């Protein structure tokens, strides 16, 4: 009951007019930044830090503003994923897979509304998880040593086989490409440079935002140029309909089990420092596909394929706050920025935060609840407005998207070298699309490559060169088993296995 | 930012009279943090910028620009090559910058290409173990390492050869470990991550800065067995034993400070140095240092310049001795 | 055929990657695994996947005719130029030019393209510079 009393105190702190309007402003700005390709939650929060400072805000109001931006960006990323097939930020990448096909079928409104609800469910329950389970969850994070992290990342790559069902070799190719790109730069373990060819700009490696914006957004522009029909008006052939704005109750109901499972998965992924929201949405999607994709509708506009990653990434956003607050270890890029804000407000996150600064912690948690309800209230009515984007003819929309992508990258890094790398990625993305090589594994590789390698090397170093250390605890063995039995074996047994299942399924139907 | 500009303008109007009696005034003060938001350099820029503004020592708001790349190398090259006469600019730096310069990791650039401005504090190194560890003090840890270097994994937040690693090697060298290169060091992304692995049992010891350790120390999760300071600190850190008093004469301070472009005029250099100096003396900054575990290091102008250059020479010698550079 | 070419390119890339891995300067001190092992594993996966394309290619995609290909090529060139001139010309001018060009090539009438280009540049400038406070490139006229 202590917890609930503290939470009530938190609401008392958060519920002032100033804080409410800050939360509203943060939600709006966050949604916009999430939706713009190139500006993700971490940059969004970083951009607004000076605003919080120059307004002279105290610790709690500043945090309310910035976490509202954080949650807002997590909501906003899905908008461009669904409408344009361009992820607004990296966790929203998986939402493209089913969101965009839904939009093409004229169900953009439904997809947006459903993903809004899914986002709400994910972050609402994750925030409760943060309230009730934070101390226990810290222990979970401590169970993960380098060997366990390596097993977890391998699991993520093993699930790729399930996503790109057409050609496994192409998924493997794309993943290796992404991992290889991640290797560029100074090796964090030894400080030697790798694959930089003497270029100082490459020392810090390739920013995955540059990769994601290039691969998805710019290549989309090139695809449009390629297909431009030659009629006088110049509009491309496929006109999108807007259709129904809100999903039916039965559709929402069919997604409830999905949302339940992915909330838990995403939250746990968020709790592990170093895994973060992208892994949350990724694992949420691939496990849901494995569990309930019986008719092969995932990837073709299945509502559950929209609900799963959105629930997952928003739950992970909440989960990532657990290690940040309780250990002072950021679980994702955004929480790293939030951590810096806390430090500059003279608050040190860590094991003592909950006892030393209860007002800050509980005010923050209350703000998360408030922000979450605001976002739901903002996002659902605005579905109609968002879908209007589809009415803008592509010949105008696409250049705008391209320019926004450039600005997003340039505004953060101030480097025209990054812009050229981005254009190169645009070309690469276009070629890979033509050859039906999936883009998601490339991004996953660049996102996780360094952490995966670092943990492998840490684990083997700690055990003095014994590679068997990688499967030396019950936890790591468990993860390896899930990876092998759940995802790798089915690829090889796939054809036999799936045929049998289909037969049985049909039999059940005919019975 | 509409609101920000408005506040900034009114602020500037207020401050114009209280400004320092000097010839130079920056038009749009800017601080480059040579890393992405969230790191130590970013903290230095933002916190100092905020305090300078709060105290009215600079006109308007300090604009913080993040210029990540090459562990500070991209920003260093940019400042040297493109903005060497920008009078409004200061750049965050720390021992990590000095270490990189000493090891020749900024190709074509040396410490003489810029003017070292001032320090804003120092972060003393610590070596810590988990609270339930059987190791009691630094000599005991070093004894175990001397007998079997493979039995102790020490984690820290910098790469192999980086500052956190050097600190532990320094201690090992002073403790008489013969081949310090056999000390098992595991690199992490940051001190916090390394502490987490210490608590999880993957590591046996942690090397880092006091500011990284103090939260876990206060909560009783970890035990600091050696502070790498010349003498004991005051206040809440008074009972931390130094390495020196345990017979291992190793001192490692991670300073934080700024440099300015090489062609900064003397007026501008003096302006910035005295602004930072005045800020350093303020109660506000003392509070910031207190809460972040920063120890005093109050050097400006030529004094600081000499300090940085001598510390670079020191690191260079040490790195060569250990065998990180040839 | 396209897949076979991809396989060939992929294999070359894998070999190149493995070769540059061997060139990595290892410092005196390194961990047990070292900076080379993981890249070599990646190169192996890359190579193996490429071999699959060589021997079991998918049907080739429909490549655009030459003039369309040139269209894409020009757009890429414009993007590169944009990245180059942005710090010199400043945000508004270069963005107007680039957005105008892309709009025009996507089938808008020339005059209208200019209008769209200017509107895009100014609109983005307002959102990113004025509202979000990002520092965009400043040209000779301060914008």
Q: Does domain B2-12+21-122+253-322 have CATH number 3.40.190.150?
A: yes
pLDDT score of A356 more than 80:
no
Percent of chain A with pLDDT over 70: 90
Residue B276 phi/psi, 5° resolution?
A: -65, -40
- C86 in Cβ contact with C27 (< 8 Å): no
Question: 3-class SS at B103?
Answer: coil
pLDDT at position B288, please?
Answer: 83
Chain-chain contact of C136 with A456 (C-beta, under 8 angstroms): no
A124-133, B258-267, C132-141: least confidently modelled range: C132-141
- Tens of pLDDT, residue by residue over C60-88, are 888 888 888 888 999 999 999 999 998 88
pLDDT: which is higher, C2 or B324:
C2
pLDDT at position C45, please?
Answer: 93
Distance between CA A208 and CA B272 in Å, rounded? 36
Q: How far is B159 from chain A (nearest CA, A)?
A: 5
Cross-chain CB nearest to B323 (options C29, C131, C132)? C29
pLDDT: which is higher, A451 or B246:
B246
Q: Which residues of B touch C28 (CB under 8 A)?
A: 181, 323-324
Distance between CA B125 and CA A275 in Å, rounded? 29
pLDDT at position C10, please?
Answer: 93
- Tens of pLDDT, residue by residue over A258-267, are 999 999 999 9
Please report where in the chains the tokens 């074996």 appear, as a residue: A489
Percent of chain B with pLDDT over 90: 32
pTM of the model: 0.83
Distance between CA B30 and CA B104 in Å, rounded? 27
Distance between CA A407 and CA B165 in Å, rounded? 39
pLDDT band at residue B127 under the 50/70/90 scheme:
very high
pLDDT at position C142, please?
Answer: 67
Q: How far is B63 from chain A (nearest CA, A)?
A: 8
Which chains lie within 8 Å of chain A at 3 or more CB pairs, if any?
B, C
**Mean local confidence (pLDDT), B231-259:** 89
For the domain spanning B124-246, the CATH number is 3.40.190.10
pLDDT band at residue B115 under the 50/70/90 scheme:
very high
pLDDT at position A502, please?
Answer: 58
B301-322 helix and B95-102 helix, angle to the nearest 10 degrees: 50
Percent of chain C with pLDDT over 90: 43
Interchain CB contact of A354 with B (< 8 Å): no
- Tens of pLDDT, residue by residue over B184-208, are 999 887 778 888 899 888 999 999 8
pLDDT band at residue A232 under the 50/70/90 scheme:
very low
Distance between CA B177 and CA B183 in Å, rounded? 9
pLDDT band at residue B126 under the 50/70/90 scheme:
very high
pLDDT at position C87, please?
Answer: 84
Q: Which residues of A touch B42 (CB under 8 A)?
A: 340
ipTM of the complex: 0.93
Per-chain mean pLDDT for chain C? 87
The residue length of chain A stands at: 511
Interchain CB contact of B322 with C (< 8 Å): yes
pLDDT at position B11, please?
Answer: 38
With CA atoms as reference, the chain B residue closest to C30 would be: B160
pLDDT band at residue B45 under the 50/70/90 scheme:
confident
pLDDT at position A115, please?
Answer: 93
Domain layout of chain B by residue ranges: 2-12+21-122+253-322, 124-246
Helix (H) or strand (E) holding C78: helix C66-89
Q: Which residues of A touch C3 (CB under 8 A)?
A: 435
A194 is written with which tokens? 């790798």
Query: Read out DSSP for B138-194?
Result: HHHHHHHHHH-GGG-EEEESS-TTSHHHHHHHHHHHHTT-S-GGGSEEEE-SSHHHH
**Mean local confidence (pLDDT), B153-164:** 85
pLDDT at position A229, please?
Answer: 52
pLDDT: which is higher, A233 or A181:
A181
A85-89, A104-108, A163-167, B96-100: least confidently modelled range: A163-167
**Mean local confidence (pLDDT), C106-119:** 90
Distance between CA B149 and CA B127 in Å, rounded? 16
Cross-chain CB nearest to C28 (options B65, B186, B324)? B324
**Mean local confidence (pLDDT), B106-113:** 83
pLDDT score of B7 more than 60:
no
Q: State CA A452 to chain mean position distance.
A: 18
pLDDT score of A85 more than 60:
yes
- A168 in Cβ contact with B224 (< 8 Å): no
* Rg of chain A in Å (alpha carbons): 22
pLDDT at position A364, please?
Answer: 84
Distance between CA A230 and CA B87 in Å, rounded? 54
- Tens of pLDDT, residue by residue over A281-338, are 888 898 888 888 777 788 888 999 999 999 999 999 888 888 888 877 776 778 877 8
- Tens of pLDDT, residue by residue over A173-217, are 999 999 999 999 878 777 777 888 877 778 778 887 888 888 988
């Amino acid at each position: 009951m202590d917890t609930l009393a503290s939470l009530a105190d938190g609401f008392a702190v958060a519920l002032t007019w100033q804080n409410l309007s800050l939360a509203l402003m943060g939600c709006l700005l966050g949604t916009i930044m999430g939706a713009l390709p190139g500006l993700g939650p971490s940059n969004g929060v970083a951009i607004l830090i000076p605003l919080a400072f120059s307004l002279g805000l105290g610790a709690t109001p500043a945090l309310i503003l910035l976490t509202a931006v954080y949650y807002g960006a997590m909501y906003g990323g899905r908008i461009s994923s669904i409408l344009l097939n361009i992820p607004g930020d990296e966790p929203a990448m998986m939402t493209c897979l089913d969101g965009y096909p839904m939009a093409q079928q004229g169900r953009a409104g439904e997809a947006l509304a459903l993903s809004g609800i899914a986002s709400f469910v994910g972050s609402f329950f994750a925030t409760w998880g943060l309230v009730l389970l934070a101390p226990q969850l810290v222990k979970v994070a401590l169970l993960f040593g380098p060997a366990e992290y390596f097993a977890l990342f391998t699991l993520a790559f093993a699930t790729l086989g399930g996503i790109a069902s057409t050609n496994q070799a192409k998924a493997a190719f794309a993943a290796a490409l992404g991992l290889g790109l991640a290797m560029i730069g100074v090796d964090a373990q030894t400080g030697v440079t790798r694959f930089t060819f003497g270029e100082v700009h490459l020392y810090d490696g390739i920013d995955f935002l540059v990769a994601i914006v290039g691969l998805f957004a710019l290549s989309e522009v090139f695809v449009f140029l390629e297909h431009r029909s030659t009629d006088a008006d110049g509009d491309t052939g496929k006109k999108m309909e807007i259709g129904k704005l809100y999903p039916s109750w039965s559709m929402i109901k069919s997604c409830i089990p999905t949302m339940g499972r992915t909330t838990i998965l995403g939250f746990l992924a968020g709790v592990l420092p170093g895994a973060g929201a992208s892994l949350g949405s990724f694992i949420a999607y691939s496990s849901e596909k494995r569990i309930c994709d019986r008719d092969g509708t995932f990837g073709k506009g299945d509502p559950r394929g929209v609900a799963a990653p959105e629930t997952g990434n928003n739950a992970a956003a909440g989960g990532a706050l657990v290690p940040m607050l309780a250990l002072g270890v950021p679980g994702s890029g955004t929480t790293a920025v939030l951590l810096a804000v806390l430090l500059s407000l003279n608050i040190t996150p860590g094991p003592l935060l909950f006892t030393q600064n209860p007002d800050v912690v509980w005010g923050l948690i209350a703000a998360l609840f408030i922000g979450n309800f605001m976002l739901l209230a903002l996002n659902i009515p605005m579905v109609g407005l968002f879908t209007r984007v589809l009415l803008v003819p592509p010949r105008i929309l696409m250049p705008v998207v391209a320019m926004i992508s450039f600005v997003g990258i340039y505004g953060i890094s101030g480097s025209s070298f990054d812009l050229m790398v981005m254009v190169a990625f645009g070309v690469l993305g276009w070629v890979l699309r033509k050859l039906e090589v999936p883009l998601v594994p490339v991004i996953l590789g660049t996102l996780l490559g360094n952490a995966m390698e670092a943990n492998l090397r840490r684990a083997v170093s700690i055990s003095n060169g014994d590679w068997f250390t990688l499967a030396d605890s019950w936890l790591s063995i468990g993860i390896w088993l899930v990876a092998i039995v759940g995802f790798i074996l089915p690829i090889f047994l796939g054809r036999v296995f799936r045929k049998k299942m289909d037969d049985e399924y049909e039999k059940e139907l005919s019975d | 930012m509409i609101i920000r500009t408005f506040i900034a303008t009114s602020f500037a109007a207020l401050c114009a009279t209280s400004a320092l009696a000097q010839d130079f005034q920056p038009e749009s003060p800017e601080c480059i943090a040579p890393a992405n938001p969230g790191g130590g350099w970013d903290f230095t820029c933002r916190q100092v910028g905020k305090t300078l503004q709060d105290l009215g020592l600079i006109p308007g708001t300090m604009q913080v620009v993040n210029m990540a790349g090459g562990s500070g190398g991209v920003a260093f090259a940019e400042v040297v090559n493109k903005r060497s006469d920008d009078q409004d600019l200061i750049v965050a730096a720390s021992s990590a910058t000095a270490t990189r310069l000493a090891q020749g990791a900024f190709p074509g650039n040396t410490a003489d290409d810029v003017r070292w401005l001032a320090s804003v504090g120092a972060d003393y190194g610590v070596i810590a173990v988990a609270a339930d560890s059987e190791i009691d003090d630094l000599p005991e840890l070093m004894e175990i390492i001397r007998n079997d270097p493979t039995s102790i994994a020490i984690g820290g937040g910098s790469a192999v050869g980086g500052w956190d690693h050097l600190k532990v090697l320094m201690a090992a060298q002073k403790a008489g470990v013969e081949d310090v290169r056999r000390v098992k060091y595991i690199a992490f992304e940051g001190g916090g991550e390394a502490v987490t692995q210490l608590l999880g049992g993957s590591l046996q010891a942690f090397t880092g800065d006091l500011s990284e350790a103090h939260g876990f120390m206060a909560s009783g999760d970890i035990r600091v067995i050696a502070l790498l300071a010349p003498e004991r600190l005051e206040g809440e850190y008074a009972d931390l034993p130094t390495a020196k008093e345990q017979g291992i004469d190793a001192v490692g301070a991670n300073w934080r400070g700024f440099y300015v472009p090489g062609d900064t005029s003397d007026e501008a250099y003096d302006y910035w140095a005295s602004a930072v100096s005045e800020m350093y003396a303020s109660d506000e900054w003392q509070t910031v240092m207190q809460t972040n575990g920063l120890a005093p290091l109050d050097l400006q102008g030529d004094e600081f310049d000499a300090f940085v250059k001598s510390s670079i020479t020191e690191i260079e010698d040490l790195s060569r001795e250990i065998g990180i550079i040839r | 055929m396209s897949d076979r070419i991809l396989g060939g390119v992929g294999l070359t890339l894998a070999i190149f990657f493995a070769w540059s891995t061997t060139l990595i300067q290892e410092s005196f001190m390194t961990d047990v695994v070292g900076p080379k092992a993981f890249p070599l594993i990646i190169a192996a996966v890359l190579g193996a996947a490429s071999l699959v394309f060589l021997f079991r290619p998918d049907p080739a995609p429909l490549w655009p005719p030459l003039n369309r290909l040139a269209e894409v090529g020009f757009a890429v060139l414009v993007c590169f130029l944009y990245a180059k001139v942005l710090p010199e010309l400043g945000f508004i001018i270069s963005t107007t030019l680039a957005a105008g060009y892309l709009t025009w090539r996507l089938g808008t009438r020339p005059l209208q393209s200019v209008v769209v280009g200017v509107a895009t540049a100014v609109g983005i400038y307002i959102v990113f510079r004025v509202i979000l406070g990002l520092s965009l490139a400043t040209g000779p006229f301060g914008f």
